[in-house]
């Protein structure tokens, strides 16, 4: 006993001595003792699931054996005015209330109801605003709102801008409208209508993009992007996740008036890939216009050489008749690949009475089994799962916040595991405004266990962070699923889908038949 007492006394005297010589020493000792013991030298620390997934992507993603050399992109572009949705509506003296969807917006009240409806779901949407004068007043208020930002907008222009950043296409990347014999480059983009290449948009374009002077006009087309953050509150509405609501009075894009000129230019340029978008803009023009114009658009698209694959990027639509026309006898069967998000996929099924069309909307993260059912239905009914079919569609790139799926008919596409992983990787970096994913700023939100179908027979599947692309088969369709490392505090959500699809198609390889 006396030995313990002596030891305690010596310890007390020692601590007292050091305290008088260094009063901060005891506190530093406590901080040191409270820290986790260091790992033995050379012993690896336990990585998080996010770190494991990102490292696995980096090892997995590789360029296809046969890369695209010339890419033509068309045909919609505009100026995006990005602003706080709640802030703008408050500045317009609009009070919060009950949300309600509208196929077309006619007033500030319609805008308030539609914005509230989608903000409450955390879902992206896009609508046409019919009243030109009211829209212009709202646009002026948006441009003058503190913190408002102007960006290049429109699916085609955004995908063209994204393609301009790829190292494998940067040797001589020039986006041109006409090849007069003195233009060079391996990426061609006719991204817009003549009326859209106005002064402000021209100033914001990538330096790689060459716009002929005769294309410039005095006015721009503006799209208003009302963004909201995860957890943001407006009245009784709370956003479950960050997203945006888009609306415009865009007549030039809605008419797709230069599609024929774009297609005619391809004969001289000779691209080996065509990327199209902008069909959704015609919906707001009314049935009489889109019925006739859609037939003309199909005739123009059909003029693209058969050996050149076409990727079509879809966007938000509300008219089921219009979607049916695109899906059944018009556009989708004559393109090789489509890109779309969860809202657009469900609307495809609702318009065509497909699987799970009774759902009014997704409840949280879309169920993988249900998504797989609809993807398979689109490929079987409107694609080339039957070798005797005359349809060309063999690939669908589906993207939602938590995960992505690439569904392809066997024998037509290669390098799809890399493609889906590359699309998810760019989603995590671009949303955070970074060139490379920072694993401390992202979170894994994908379901770690899921089924290949919502109904029997179905296969139980899971995500392995060390091998983050889960592959499963249904008939002669192969599905590639990978989680997304979701940015915790996204800086900008608009354009993510275009970046995802551009990245995915860049890493894809079409197989020679």
* Percent above pLDDT 90 for the chain: 54
Average pLDDT over residues 228-234: 93
* pLDDT, tens digit, 9 for 90 and up, residues 339-371: 999 999 999 999 999 999 999 999 889 999 999
Checking DSSP bridges between strand 395-399 and strand 337-341, what pairing results, if any?
parallel
- pLDDT score recorded for residue 284: 75
* 275 phi/psi in degrees, rounded to 5: -115, 125
Three-state DSSP at 339 gives: strand
* 8 A C-beta contact, residue 506 and residue 311: no
- Asked if pLDDT for residue 190 goes beyond 60, the answer is no
pLDDT-derived band of residue 11, with 50, 70 and 90 as boundaries? very low
- Asked if pLDDT for residue 416 goes beyond 60, the answer is yes
pLDDT-derived band of residue 117, with 50, 70 and 90 as boundaries? very high
| Tokens encoding 301 | 């698209």
From the number of C-beta atoms within 10 Å of its C-beta (0-12, 13-18, 19+), residue 95 rates as: exposed
pLDDT-derived band of residue 10, with 50, 70 and 90 as boundaries? very low
Q: Cβ of 98: how many Cβ atoms within 10 Å?
A: 12
Rounded Cα distance, 148 and 8, in Å: 67
Contacts of residue 459, defined as CB under 8 A and 6 or more positions apart, other chains included, come to 451, 452, 453, 472
From the number of C-beta atoms within 10 Å of its C-beta (0-12, 13-18, 19+), residue 96 rates as: middle
- Asked if pLDDT for residue 38 goes beyond 50, the answer is no
* 8 A C-beta contact, residue 324 and residue 134: no
Lowest-confidence region among 63-72, 265-274, 414-423: 265-274
Please give the torsion angle defined by the CA atoms of residues 351, 343, 76 and 203, in that order, rounded to the nearest 10 degrees. Answer: 170
Checking DSSP bridges between strand 403-409 and strand 509-510, what pairing results, if any?
unpaired
More confident residue, 484 or 302: 484
- Asked if pLDDT for residue 494 goes beyond 90, the answer is no
pLDDT-derived band of residue 47, with 50, 70 and 90 as boundaries? very high
Please give the torsion angle defined by the CA atoms of residues 457, 398, 362 and 290, in that order, rounded to the nearest 10 degrees. Answer: -120
* pLDDT, tens digit, 9 for 90 and up, residues 292-312: 888 888 888 888 888 999 999
Average pLDDT over residues 206-234: 72
Residue 146 C-alpha from the chain's centroid: 26
- pLDDT score recorded for residue 400: 97
pLDDT-derived band of residue 63, with 50, 70 and 90 as boundaries? very high
- Asked if pLDDT for residue 12 goes beyond 50, the answer is no
Locus of tokens 């509150």: 233
Average pLDDT over residues 432-440: 94
- pLDDT score recorded for residue 201: 65
Q: What is the mean pLDDT of the chain?
A: 83
Average pLDDT over residues 48-71: 94
Question: What are the distances in angstroms from CA 242 to CA 148, 155, 245, 286?
Answer: 17, 20, 11, 31
Lowest-confidence region among 112-116, 201-205, 412-416: 201-205
Locus of tokens 């106005």: 198
- pLDDT score recorded for residue 411: 96
- Asked if pLDDT for residue 194 goes beyond 50, the answer is no
Residue 312 C-alpha from the chain's centroid: 14
Q: Considering only CA atoms, give the Rg of the chain.
A: 27
The residues carrying an active-site annotation are: 498
- pLDDT score recorded for residue 18: 44
Average pLDDT over residues 232-237: 94
More confident residue, 473 or 287: 473
* 41 phi/psi in degrees, rounded to 5: -55, 125
Lowest-confidence region among 44-48, 84-88, 177-181, 399-403: 177-181
* pLDDT, tens digit, 9 for 90 and up, residues 137-188: 999 999 899 999 888 888 888 887 787 777 654 433 333 333 333 334 455 5
More confident residue, 253 or 293: 293
Average pLDDT over residues 16-45: 45
């Amino acid at each position: 006993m006396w030995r313990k007492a002596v030891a305690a006394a010596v310890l007390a005297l020692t601590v007292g001595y050091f305290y008088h010589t260094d009063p901060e020493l005891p506190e530093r000792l406590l901080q040191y003792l409270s820290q986790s013991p260091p790992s033995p030298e050379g012993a690896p620390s336990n990585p998080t699931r996010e770190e494991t997934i990102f490292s696995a992507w980096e090892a997995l993603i590789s360029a296809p054996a046969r890369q695209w050399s010339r890419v033509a992109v068309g045909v919609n572009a505009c100026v995006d005015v990005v602003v706080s949705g709640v802030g703008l509506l408050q500045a317009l003296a609009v009070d919060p209330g009950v949300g309600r969807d509208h196929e077309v917006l006619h007033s500030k009240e319609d805008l308030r109801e539609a914005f509230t409806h989608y903000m409450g779901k955390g879902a992206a949407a896009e609508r046409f605003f019919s009243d030109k004068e009211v829209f212009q007043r709202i646009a002026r208020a948006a441009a003058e709102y503190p913190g408002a930002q102007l960006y290049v907008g429109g699916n085609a222009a955004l995908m063209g801008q994204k393609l301009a950043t790829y190292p494998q296409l940067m040797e001589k990347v020039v986006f041109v409208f006409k090849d007069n014999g003195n233009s060079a480059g391996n990426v061609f983009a006719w991204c817009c209508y003549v009326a859209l290449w106005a002064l402000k948009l021209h100033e914001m374009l990538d330096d790689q993009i060459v716009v002929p002077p005769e294309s410039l006009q005095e006015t721009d087309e503006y799209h208003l992007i009302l963004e909201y953050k995860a957890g943001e509150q407006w009245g009784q509405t709370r956003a479950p996740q960050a997203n945006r609501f888009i609306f415009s009075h865009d007549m030039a894009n809605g008419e797709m008036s230069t599609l024929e000129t774009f297609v005619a230019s391809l004969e001289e340029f000779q691209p080996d890939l065509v990327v199209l978008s902008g069909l959704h803009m015609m919906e707001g023009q009314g049935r009489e216009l889109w019925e006739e114009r859609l037939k003309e658009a199909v005739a123009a698209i059909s003029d693209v050489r058969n050996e050149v694959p076409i990727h079509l990027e879809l966007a938000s639509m509300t008219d089921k008749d219009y979607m049916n026309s695109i899906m059944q006898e018009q556009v989708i069967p004559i393109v090789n690949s489509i890109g779309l998000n969860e809202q657009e996929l469900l609307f495809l099924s609702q318009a065509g009475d497909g699987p799970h069309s009774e759902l009014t909307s997704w409840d949280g993260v879309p169920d993988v089994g249900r998504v797989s059912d609809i993807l398979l239905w689109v490929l079987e009914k409107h694609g080339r799962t039957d070798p005797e079919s005359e349809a060309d569609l063999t690939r669908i790139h589906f993207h939602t916040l938590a995960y992505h799926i690439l569904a392809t008919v066997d024998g037509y596409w290669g390098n799809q595991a890399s493609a889906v992983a590359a699309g998810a990787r760019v989603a995590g970096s671009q949303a955070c405004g970074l060139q490379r994913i920072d694993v401390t700023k992202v979170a894994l939100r994908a379901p770690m266990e899921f089924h290949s179908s919502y109904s029997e027979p179905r296969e139980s599947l899971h995500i392995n962070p060390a091998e983050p692309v889960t592959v499963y088969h249904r008939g002669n369709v192969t599905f590639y699923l990978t989680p997304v490392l979701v940015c915790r505090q996204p800086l900008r959500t608009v354009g993510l889908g275009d970046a995802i699809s551009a990245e995915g198609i860049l890493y894809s390889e079409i197989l020679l038949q």
